[in-house]
Chains A and B, each alone.
Chain A
Amino acid sequence: MKADTISSLAGREILRSAMARNQTSLTDALKEFSTGRYADVGKALGGRIGGVLDMRNIVGSLTGLTNTNSVVKQRMDHVQSSFAALRDLGADFSESTLGVHKTGADRGLLISDAKARMATLTDVLTTSTNGVYAFSGLNVSVPPIDNYLSDPPSAARAAVIATFTTEFGFPPDDPQVVTITPAQMEAYIDGPFSALFEEPQWSANFSQATDEVMRDRISQHEEIDTSATANDAGIRKIFFSLTLAIDGGAEHLRTDTYEVLATRIANAASEGGHNIAASQARVGVAEERLAQANERIDLEKQTLEGRIGELEGVDAYEVADRLSLLMTRIESSYSVTARMQQLTLLNYL
């Protein structure tokens, strides 16, 4: 056996460097213990940091989706409740028109009822949420329709009265209205009056909305329509029925012609209500998809956050164990150093 003498310097160096290393590890372990994550995540994960960043990216975009989905949901709730109001408006107006007509009540009642409902319709369509007019299609910064009953008369009302005047030679509130026959009235309603609610006249006189509606991304790969348009067939039908009641000359019409008019008003209102119910169902389906997407997003986010935690995080028990081990080691290293200092022949000579 060959006994090497160990140099005094090397003996001291070993202790010193071991202590320095232990102390660095102690700092890291303390940091890991308090944060629950690696002291230096980049160094600990190395190349896998790319994966963590990818996951954080997905979590970020999912959080973004959750936020935008809440905006979208608010808008869709608004559209949904507006549609419900309009559907009821159509059905109720149809019923009340028939009621007024059948009981032979005052025709003025029909007109004032129509005017009140027109005000409601305008209100519903021109309500904005977060500065967005949900019934304007893409043209969200502009209300979809003007107030039909405004004073001076809106472009829409002027167009309706002009069409009536052109057809019969006198405006709807003229007493000569009494001369209009049922056949003439039918011809007017199916001809020039119906054309008012078709393009291009509809957009020229009534609506500022676009046919195209807003689309939004509700999950990583799903897009749905999230706003509505006043150009919806049902809404046009309701307008058709209300304007016919307000500016169809109801007050002075002959009884038989009035019957034609009242029937057409009631039919259009009820048809409009039905059409709106169909649109409402479409929105309902989209809302359901939105709700499902939100659920999926939450799940996906939880999973990913869990995995990020697993990658970046440290096992608390393991760290605690490591900490106490390191502390014991450092303590013993201190006492060994102190004793080694005493261990020199100099003290015994």
Chain B
Amino acid sequence: MSLTLAHEIARGGMLANATQSSLVSRNIANVDNPNAGRKYAHTITSEIGVHLGVISNAVSPRLLESVLGTTARNGELSSMTSALERLAGSIADPELGISPAAMITEMQQALYAAAADPSNETLLRNIISVATNVANTLKDAGNLVVQVRKEANADLKDATTQLGTLLKDFEDANNQIVSGTIIGRDVTDQIDRRNGLLREISGLIDINTTTRANNDMVLFTASGTTLFEKAPRTISFDFSPLSPGQPGGLLTIDGVPYSGAAATKLGGKIGGLLQIRDDVAISYGRQIDEIARGLITTFAESDQSATPTLPDVAGLFTWSGGPALPTSGTVLDGLALTIRVNPNADPSQGGSLDRLRDGGIGDPSEPDYVYNPDGVAGFSQRLRDLAAGLSAAQAFDPATGLSGSTSLISLASDSAGWLESRRSSASDRLADNEVLGERAVNAWQGQIGINLDEEMTSLMAIERSYQATARLMSTVDQMFQAILRATGAL
């Protein structure tokens, strides 16, 4: 072994040291980057000294997968929970009594109160004011559904646009990784970036990943449609205006439609928004519409003559298609948006309060709709029948997802139960999933992440090794000097 070789080995050690310390400083710089993996390089020893192998990242594909899975579920559940919370605003705390169910109960009480004292104008006027509140509550609930769906639709548009942008960035990072891997360059920073993008994408949509040769990654949706392979696949979203009760514009990925019933397969924020827009909000909207229809039907007036010939007409509550009644037993989408108190019974709109007690609201010009032909002030049968009608079973459209034959009051409270059970289970699952998500991220970061203390320890080792190498070099130098002096070269 020659002195030159010893010198060479010392020089190699210096080089390895320099690279190690640059790795340590890069790791320390990344200590707060949640997507960064710890960079490392193996030291390779040979008879001509040490050098460092290729710089690699700590990776943990399986833990990353669980991070992506929980991120997708989180995205889905949190978008659903916030929409459900908005919808549950129409029910609020039962103590406040502002839900449709509570309002209908109040209506019933107002009717019974007036029935006990039917000549009392104040009580009849109270019916009108409660009825106006009922109509407004239903209209507000209907509008809330429209609003929630509209927001979901707008969010979907943003989310799909964002997904497109993220996939473009992903393509960029993936290309750099593949080309870098082929020529053996350090691609760890790109891998960190690609992991970050993966986490962002999985927040929007549930994805499966496959890694091919040269670290090339391919993305699929949970149901197997290709989302990215060398280049992003086409994602198209038809951002058209929504109509009540109808699913919104189509979302396709790589030509596969993902709206409507297929939406559950998508996952992520986009999947959650699709479920809200095309399923939950539509069902809830239909329940509100059915409550409105049930109300119009309950207050309908029929021909009271001995041989009835006239059709039933809408009474105290009417709608845009009034005075005709909406088709019985079938949901009419968007009905709640047009329900209103019949002006014929509202004194502030030129109507007469007595019609509440006597009938004839639907068509004041037709005396056959009057239930109290003598006009006696103590007539309470009609008011009592109306109040009882709110608790009587009638036929509802099973398309609401609730019982088809129940009373209006039960339908309204069932509807509240339907929504709250969804909200409750979604937010419970979200809470569970948040914990799971944190665990997954912690486990993943624990595996790949950077520990400052460890880096500091490495730094100390590097320092010592630097000192040792420097001593080696100076020793070799001294030996050279000794030889040179001995040979008289100096």
Chain A residues in contact with chain B, CB under 8 A?
Answer: 4-10, 13-14, 17, 37, 41-54, 56-57, 60-61, 63-65, 67-69, 71-72, 130-132, 136-142, 210, 213-217, 223, 226-227, 312, 344-346, 349
Contacts and interface: CB of A to CB of B under 8 A. Distances in A.
A43 B423 contact: yes
B453 interface: yes
Interface centre among A136, A137, A217, by most B CB within 10 Å?
A: A217
A150 B115 CA distance: 34
Given A14-B442, A49-B94, A42 B420 contact: yes
A168 B159 CA distance: 103
B108 A312 contact: no
Contact of B379 (A8, A48, A138, A349): A138
B91 A49 contact: yes
Interface stretch (B218-226, B316-324, B405-413): B405-413
A290 to B, nearest CB: 12
A132 B446 CA distance: 82
A13 B441 CA distance: 10
B420 A344 contact: no
Interface centre among B105, B387, B454, by most A CB within 10 Å?
A: B105
Contact of A9 (B93, B117, B376, B449): B449
Interface of B: 31-34, 38, 88, 91-95, 97, 99, 101-102, 104-106, 108-109, 112-113, 115-120, 374, 376-381, 384, 387, 409-410, 412-418, 420-421, 423-425, 427, 438, 441-442, 445-454, 456-457, 460
Contacts of B424: 42-47
B452 A131 contact: no
Given A10-B442, A50-B418, A131-B119, A60 B106 contact: yes
B380 A214 contact: yes
Contact of A345 (B38, B412, B438, B457): B457
A8 B420 contact: no
Contacts of A8: 31, 449-453
Interface centre among A53, A56, A57, A312, by most B CB within 10 Å?
A: A53
Contacts of A69: 116
A37 B95 contact: yes
Given A61-B109, A130-B117, A9 B413 contact: no
Interface centre among B31, B384, B413, by most A CB within 10 Å?
A: B413
A67 B114 CA distance: 11
Given A41-B94, A46-B423, A64-B112, 14 more contacts: A6-B449, A7-B450, A9-B32, A10-B449, A43-B420, A51-B413, A54-B409, A138-B379, A139-B374, A140-B377, A141-B376, A210-B378, A217-B387, A345-B452
Contacts of B412: 53
A47 B116 contact: no
30 contacts: A4-B447, A5-B449, A7-B448, A8-B449, A8-B453, A9-B34, A9-B445, A13-B441, A13-B445, A43-B420, A46-B425, A47-B418, A49-B417, A50-B416, A53-B417, A54-B409, A56-B102, A57-B413, A61-B109, A61-B112, A64-B109, A68-B116, A132-B117, A139-B374, A140-B378, A210-B376, A210-B378, A214-B380, A215-B384, A344-B453
A224 B94 CA distance: 33
A8 to B, nearest CB: 5
Contacts of B97: 56
Contacts of A46: 417, 420-421, 423-425
B388 to A, nearest CB: 8
Name the prevailing secondary structure of the B interface residues: helix
Contact of A131 (B33, B120, B416, B451): B120
A113 B173 CA distance: 115
B106 A216 contact: no
Contact of B421 (A47, A61, A346): A47
Contacts of B441: 10, 13
A68 B113 contact: yes
A69 B379 CA distance: 17
B418 A7 contact: no
A346 B427 CA distance: 42
Given A13-B438, A215-B380, A130 B94 contact: no
Nearest to B377: A141
Contacts of B101: 53-54, 57
Contacts of A51: 413, 417
B443 to A, nearest CB: 8
Given A49-B94, A217-B112, A345-B452, A71 B417 contact: no
A57 B413 CA distance: 9
